Structure 1
Amino acid sequence: MNAFSVSLDRATDFDEVIDVRTPLEFAEDHIPDALNAPVLSNEERVTIGTMYKQVSPFEATRLGAALVARNIAKHLETTFADRPRNWRPLIYCWRGGKRSASMTTWFNMIGWRARQLEGGYKSYRRDVVAALETLPQRYRYMVLTGNTGSGKTRLLQALAEADAQTLDLEALACHRGSVLGLPPHGQQPSQKAFDSALVAAFRRLDANRPVFIEAESRRIGTLSLPAALTNQIHDGTCVSLETTRDDRIRLLLDDYAHLFENVDLFKSQLSKLAGLHSHARIREWHTLLYEGRRKELFEQLIDLHYDPAYARSTGKNFAKLADATRFTLRPVDADILEQARTLLARLS
């Protein structure tokens, strides 16, 4: 460790965390609340890397130094122009190398008490991976179970509003959890970013209070849950939601209305079920989709796909389902908050 470097456990001692990696690196994952102030752009980093391999390390380092110096100067004139004299930033790059060292050196020459994160982002990532092996085991889980469309997500949100402690995995994953669960913008975070968000969410929880959480499989869209969390969910105390079929269809028509705005995309999502259903059935669902027979489509999806799949997986995965508290939910009614409070009163 050099005189200007500190370990990750001291990150909270600083006024601001500065990520000097490229925008692409930052977008994949970063320390929560860090500010991206890249000392090399995406294109500049590629140029330097190519020169290092094809020309010489010396020439690459010389050009890199010039680019880094130029970019730090721009940040001093813009991004950090208003920082006070006693400002204390923590600076990191990929592995605590030259990029973060350069900015740390210049900041200390100015008079700011800047420090470089020892090990950089790699040390932070190791901490996240290790935390996901242990953090989930610290909490008691109340697992909301129920067929697709039963209103688990709406109840979870209402429970949060009623001051219950909740962990909304689908919100963190930007996905509704089913084959049709891709959000309207069609973008999930990277696995690393999801892991970071999950660790941050865990660290805000109180281990003395139960955590309400939806029943989830091992994957939410393209993202994987840590094994420790999946095991804890499967062993959690269950609340089984009972919702009428009509209410379930109304909810699905509401929550998935955006799918009908891009019929071709909806069709491609339905086609992914071909391994579970006959080609004739998939073609029938495509026909219902293109003819705008929304209610009939969701009725068939509930009866022929979602409910059978739920029956196969839930009883096998949730050890305490037989002892679940059964709760009748009306997820499309306006009094969902009062319903959440009623559930809390029953469980207290």
Structure 2
Amino acid sequence: MFQDISLPDLLASQEKETHTLVDVRSPKEFNEATIPGSINIPIFNDEERAEVGTIYKQQGVEAAKERGLQIFSQKLPAFIAEFKQIETPMTVFCWRGGMRSKTAATVLELMGIRANRLMGGIRTYRQWVVQELENQQFKPKLFVLNGYTGSGKTAILQRLSKHGYPVIDLEKMAGHRGSIFGQIGLEPSNQKKFDSLLISEIRRYQDEPFVFIEGESKRIGKVYLPPFLNEKKENSLQLFLHLPVEERVRNILEDYQPWEYPHHFEEAFQLIKKRIHTPIAKQIEEALESHDFALAIKLLLEYYYDPKYEYSTKHYPDKQRITIEAATTDDAFQKILQMVKVSNQHSN
């Protein structure tokens, strides 16, 4: 018989050895939120799950079980074959640790494949995440990367991460770049997915001396930062990047690639059009329509984003700010590395 495992035991096990988590829910459920690092080997695809759910509502439990068994039996060889490729200890889970994960674990056991089943499923994990975020104390000090829109903050965070520095990339986890155009070309996260990714990163870096993070507002796209992290971010050292406007325009063009989604940019602009002086708004609109994205971005920076940014950062006292003047994003990155080295020398 397969073994049920509690969430605390599972988390402890993950710290000791490589452990594969398998979400057997439908792809849609998996994409909406899962336990970070999990893989998806679904018992039912989205259409099959909807069909079984309809039968359950209209005909009852037994009819739904019978149809579910018919569907699953046809795909059983392929289902088993995917699990055979896993070479580590594994745990399967579904929403509540019920029928789907029990079926998966039982079938695997019959085929000689050992798998645990997570007690309470992802619902228990979600409850744990919420509790952790409510009671969390994040020990590392934060270096908060700020700068006018287009200063290359995300690119710098990615480079810092590649160099082995601890980085929490809030925009990546949120699936949003933090501006009115920030969701274009991305898949925004919901709060459940964001919270799960965030608590995973917090646990990962809890014992680091410092962590880099971007100076986001409390809300990023569709999600919100937990109060403890937002408060710590606001009270931490703020690194302000100052780059020439031309460099910032180039960064934005490279990051957003507006020529790939021209209509999305025109639609998003309508949401802020009324907040910009009418003649300038008309210029921006015409530039977007003619695909002169460099001009549109330059005007948006000068007349919308830069004034907003200046207003939002006035409350930081001088002792909490370090200004980094740089000609390019690479130049800014090198200066941040030097700052970190100096900081480490002083702390040692």
TM-score range, shorter chain: 0.7 to 0.9
2:321 maps to which of 312, 324, 327: 324
The superposition leaves residues 149-173 of structure 1 with CA deviations (integer Å, 9 ceiling, x where unpaired) of: 2332333334334543222212223
What is the aligned counterpart of 2:23 among 19, 23, 26?
A: 19
Which residue of 1 is the match for residue 297 of structure 2?
298
Deviations 1:157-211 (A, max 9, x none): 343345432222122233321122235x332233322222222222221534111
Query: What secondary structure does 1:5 align onto?
Result: strand
SS state of the match for residue 91, structure 2?
A: strand
Structure 2 gap segments, 5+ residues each: none
Q: Check conservation: 1:158, 1:336, Cα contact below 8 A.
A: no
Q: Secondary structure at the match of 2:229?
A: helix
Which residue pairs with 1:52 in the alignment? Answer: 56
- Report the equivalent of 1:99: 100
- What is the TM-score of this pair, normalised by structure 1? 0.86
User: 3-state DSSP class of the match of 1:138?
Assistant: coil
CA contact (8 A) 2:3 2:115 kept: yes
How far has the Cα of 1:141 moved from its partner? 0.9
Contact 1:155 1:340 in 2 (8 A): no
Deviations 1:37-85 (Å, cap 9, x if unpaired)? 2222222222222122212322222322333444444412x2134567x
- TM-superposition CA deviations, 1:222-262 (whole Å, max 9, x none): 33222222121111111222333343334334434x11333
Residue deviations 1:105-131, cap 9 Å, x none? 222233333221100110111122223
Q: Which residue pairs with 1:249 in the alignment? A: 249
Give the corresponding residue for 1:344: 340
**Are 1:63 and 2:81 an aligned pair?**
no
Please show how residues 108-147 of structure 1 align to structure 2 within 5 Å.
108-135=109-136, 137-147=138-148
Distance 1:193 1:68 in 2: 28
Q: Which structure 2 residues correspond to residues 212-223 of structure 1 after superposition, within 5 A?
A: 212-223=212-223
Q: Residues 73 and 263 from structure 1, CA distance in 2 versus in 1: closer, same or farther, beyond 3 angstroms?
A: closer
Shift of 1:94: 0.8
Query: Which residue in the other structure is 1:202 paired with?
Result: 202
**CA distance in structure 2 between the aligned counterparts of 1:253 and 1:71, rounded to whole angstroms:** 46
Q: Give the letter aligned to residue 61 of structure 1.
A: K
CA distance 1:229–1:237, shift in 2 (3 Å): same
Contact 1:48 1:64 in 2 (8 A): yes
Q: Which stretch shifts more, 260-269 or 286-295?
A: 286-295
Unpaired runs of 5+ residues, structure 1, are none
Partner Cα distance (2:42, 2:123) in 1: 17
Percent sequence identity over matched residues?
30
2:31 maps to a residue whose letter is A
Deviates more, 1:145-154 or 1:247-256: 247-256
Give runs of aligned pairs for residues 251-330 of structure 1, distance below 5 A.
Answer: 251-256=251-256, 258-277=257-276, 281-316=280-315, 318=316, 320=317, 323-330=320-327
CA 270–72 in structure 1, closer or farther in 2 if over 3 Å, else same = same
2:2, 2:105 within 8 Å by CA — same for their partners in 1?
no
- Paired residues of 1:145 and 1:240 also in contact (CA < 8 A): yes
Matching of residue 79 in structure 1 with residue 92 in structure 2 = no
Tell me, what secondary structure is at the counterpart of 2:323?
strand
* Aligned equivalents of 1:209, 1:132: Cα separation in 2: 20
Q: Alignment length, in residue pairs?
A: 339
Runs of 4+ in 1 over 6 A off after TM superposition: none
TM-score by length of 2: 0.86
Quote how far apart the aligned CAs of 1:337 are.
Answer: 4.4
Tell me how far apart the structure 2 counterparts of residues 346 and 227 of structure 1 sit (CA, whole Å). Answer: 31
Aligned position for 2:190: 190
Q: CA deviation at 1:32?
A: 2.3
Aligned partners of 2:189 and 2:222 also within 8 Å: no
Match of 1:171 in 2: 172
Contact 1:96 1:116 in 2 (8 A): yes
Residues 236, 164 of structure 1: CA spacing in aligned structure 2 closer, same or farther, 3 A cutoff?
same
Greater Cα shift, 198-207 or 232-241: 198-207
1: distance between equivalents of 2:44 and 2:218? 37
CA distance in 1, matches of 2:161, 2:67: 52
